[in-house]
A and B are shown apart, each in its own frame.
Chain A
């Protein structure tokens, strides 16, 4: 699970930092010459950081959501209009003057595209699976349409929550759809 790997990575890095800082702090209690040749060590430290970050960037950037399923034709397009404090979802374009939606069913293992906009303030369009895990998201911004492509590999009921603070009922702004 993506979030678990992230948490493990964070704990691993935090552990290293805590060990290094603690070790360096206690080394000042048995002081002698200080660090020998700090410039050389600094240089190697810098190179290692550049190397690690370079690998991270080159592996992760191609996995950015903007490039997901970019060359494919979506099996289904869902229009989403967010408004304080409701989501309208429809397979037809939504009229901003008379917004309406209907229950959505999507196919599993096929690319679907959500075209997400807002009729008032900024909102979030965050898709959660049945276990309450956030699987993907985009923002709903007035005047713009964000296209989010995703392939659901598990059938079931998915929940959509607003993840951009939008006002007094932000915490209850939600909808759902089914993947068969």
Chain B
């Protein structure tokens, strides 16, 4: 079914993501060790590490989702290998540039690069224009890929069918597979936010090249930055969910999930909520119109409804008192859904304006987004990686190793996240290289976080070795 080329490029994507994931976890552990006082990094090094840690993690889990979607999309429509390859080449160029810019050029603006910080040079002068070029390369590469994939979907399905609108009628003649519906919804969000990223970069370039005659508006730039940043960070989770919808039932030995009217409705509404929830990043900017702030809270609340009532509930229905062929793949999916739900609680609490006033930019923020990444989206993508790696090579699954991997993932992930949540409730600021003395719990919590993150790294390394070994076999196989 799948061509050799798509198997090989998917393998290359997987190996690239895993290498960068391990490197970025190590950077994250170094950050927590520094905050805990066990290391003594210069602040400039800490903040450069923090910048590349955030940029890399967002980038790799986005491309991991895209690579998964691209591979499975071949079951329904022919995808463009050229677009896939172009995206890969541009991603590698962009990521290498970003690592050089941050680690050599000491560019340290955090992954949010809030305007006008990139212009307040506190690093090598070349780093700012190079950063804008790298971000543009990544945005354009991913835009080409997303548009190409959407075009291929629309060659087979009409717009109404791609959005599954025919499922609102009594007897739909064409059935839209959930995978196509979720991919379509997600791709619209991805294309929209990448387009905004290109506009954002154009505005930066305009100011950079104008030599002072053109100055951007800080509030507009912040809105654009979070529209892009929040949306892409959330869409990557939905890419992971599309993979879950496609594979969860299949690997459990069950019939594939079908689109029904409420699945179609839920995902169509998700698109609206996901594009308006970003306002919650600007709650503490009191000059932002109050209407936008309230839309931010309502959209953040409402985004949880289709997610809980359709996706989470569907996973429960699929498992409850049902004979399932459990394997590492669907266990990773199942635990990932639980992690996503728990992170979602943390997110909804923080998206409440009256709570945000005491949580904004404390450790509660990394607590909740690490929850649905470390214990959610990452597990969805790892499930895909593992499933992919055993498709074309030996299908031997070591059950004891699987249990060890899952146990260490849960123990390491839970301890690492708990240290963040407790720190957030203790008012400890995020993004501090070193903590002021009055935060007495900050250093011990950072060390606890570092220790548990190291526990989490062990199963990641095990998966890295087993999956990479199999992907390398795929790369050198002629079948």
A interface vs B, CB < 8 Å?
2-4, 6-7, 9-10, 13-14, 17-18, 20-21, 24-25, 27-28, 30-35, 38, 41-42, 45-46, 49-50, 53, 56-57, 60-61, 63-66, 84, 120-122, 124, 126, 128, 132-139, 141-148, 159, 161, 163-172, 174
B95-103, B132-140, B309-317, B455-463: which lies at the A interface?
Answer: B309-317
A134-B427 contact given A121-B120, A143-B217, CB 8 Å threshold: yes
User: What 3 A-B pairs are tightest by C-beta distance, nearest first?
Assistant: A134-B427, A31-B323, A7-B425
Chain A, residue nearest B338 (CB): A21
CB atoms of B308 and A141 under 8 A apart: no
A168-B426 contact given A56-B352, A65-B357, A138-B284, CB 8 Å threshold: no
Cβ of B385 under 8 Å from chain A: no
B7-15, B341-349, B393-401, B443-451: which lies at the A interface?
Answer: B341-349
Cβ of B421 under 8 Å from chain A: yes
CB atoms of A171 and B43 under 8 A apart: yes
Name the one of A3, A28, A53 contacting B426, with C-beta atoms under 8 angstroms: A3
Name the one of B297, B425, B436 contacting A3, with C-beta atoms under 8 angstroms: B425
Residues 39-79 (chain B) with a chain A CB within 8 angstroms? 43-44, 47
Nearest chain A CB to B90 CB, angstrom units: 28
B199-207, B229-237, B286-294: which lies at the A interface?
Answer: B286-294
CB atoms of A122 and B301 under 8 A apart: no
Q: Which residues of chain B are within 8 angstroms of A145 by Cβ–Cβ distance?
A: 287
Chain A, residue nearest B48 (CB): A168
Majority SS at the chain B contact face:
helix
Q: Which residues of chain B are within 8 angstroms of A34 by Cβ–Cβ distance?
A: 317, 320-322
Q: Which residues of chain A are within 8 angstroms of B321 by Cβ–Cβ distance?
A: 27-28, 30-35
Q: List 16 A-B contacts (CB under 8 A).
A: A3-B426, A13-B342, A17-B342, A27-B319, A31-B324, A49-B305, A61-B294, A64-B353, A65-B286, A121-B114, A121-B120, A124-B284, A132-B438, A144-B287, A146-B286, A171-B434
A50-B323 contact given A10-B421, A65-B286, A66-B290, CB 8 Å threshold: no
CB atoms of A53 and B316 under 8 A apart: no
Name the one of A27, A141, A163 contacting B360, with C-beta atoms under 8 angstroms: A163
CB atoms of B322 and A3 under 8 A apart: no
A165-B287 contact given A17-B342, A31-B321, A64-B293, CB 8 Å threshold: no
Number of residues of chain B lying within 8 A (CB) of chain A = 79
Q: Which residues of chain A are within 8 angstroms of B323 by Cβ–Cβ distance?
A: 28, 31
Q: Which residues of chain A are within 8 angstroms of B301 by Cβ–Cβ distance?
A: 53, 56-57
CB atoms of B117 and A141 under 8 A apart: no
Q: Which residues of chain B are within 8 angstroms of A7 by Cβ–Cβ distance?
A: 421-422, 425
Of residues B359, B421, B425, B438, which shows the largest number of chain A Cβ atoms within 10 Å of its Cβ? B425
CB atoms of B286 and A138 under 8 A apart: yes
CB atoms of A174 and B342 under 8 A apart: no
Residues 385-438 (chain B) with a chain A CB within 8 angstroms? 421-422, 424-427, 429, 431-436, 438
**B84-128 Cβ-contact flags toward A at 8 Å (1 or 0):** 000000000000000000000000101010111100101000000
B interface vs A, CB < 8 Å?
43-44, 47, 108, 110, 112, 114-117, 120, 122, 217-219, 222, 262, 284-287, 290, 293-294, 297-298, 301-302, 304-305, 308-310, 313, 316-317, 319-324, 326, 334, 337-338, 341-342, 345-346, 348-349, 352-355, 357-362, 364, 421-422, 424-427, 429, 431-436, 438-440
A169-B43 contact given A31-B323, A56-B352, CB 8 Å threshold: yes
CB atoms of A57 and B322 under 8 A apart: no
Q: Which residues of chain B are within 8 angstroms of A45 by Cβ–Cβ distance?
A: 308-309, 313
Chain A, residue nearest B42 (CB): A168
Name the one of A3, A64, A171 contacting B433, with C-beta atoms under 8 angstroms: A171
Q: Which residues of chain A are within 8 angstroms of B110 by Cβ–Cβ distance?
A: 165
CB atoms of A28 and B320 under 8 A apart: yes
Q: Which residues of chain B are within 8 angstroms of A128 by Cβ–Cβ distance?
A: 427, 438
CB atoms of B349 and A9 under 8 A apart: yes
Q: Which residues of chain B are within 8 angstroms of A163 by Cβ–Cβ distance?
A: 360-362, 429
Known pairs A57-B301, A61-B297, A167-B122; list 10 more (Cβ under 8 Å).
A17-B341, A28-B321, A28-B324, A35-B320, A42-B313, A66-B290, A124-B361, A161-B436, A163-B360, A171-B435
CB atoms of B218 and A122 under 8 A apart: yes
CB atoms of A24 and B320 under 8 A apart: yes
Q: Which residues of chain A are within 8 angstroms of B43 by Cβ–Cβ distance?
A: 168-169, 171
CB atoms of B108 and A144 under 8 A apart: no
Nearest chain B CB to A43 CB, angstrom units: 8
Q: Which residues of chain A are within 8 angstroms of B108 by Cβ–Cβ distance?
A: 167-168
Q: How far is the CA of A3 from the CA of B362 in the complex (A)?
A: 11
CB atoms of B425 and A4 under 8 A apart: yes
Q: How far is the CA of A159 from the CA of B427 in the complex (A)?
A: 13
Nearest chain A CB to B109 CB, angstrom units: 8
Nearest chain B CB to A63 CB, angstrom units: 4
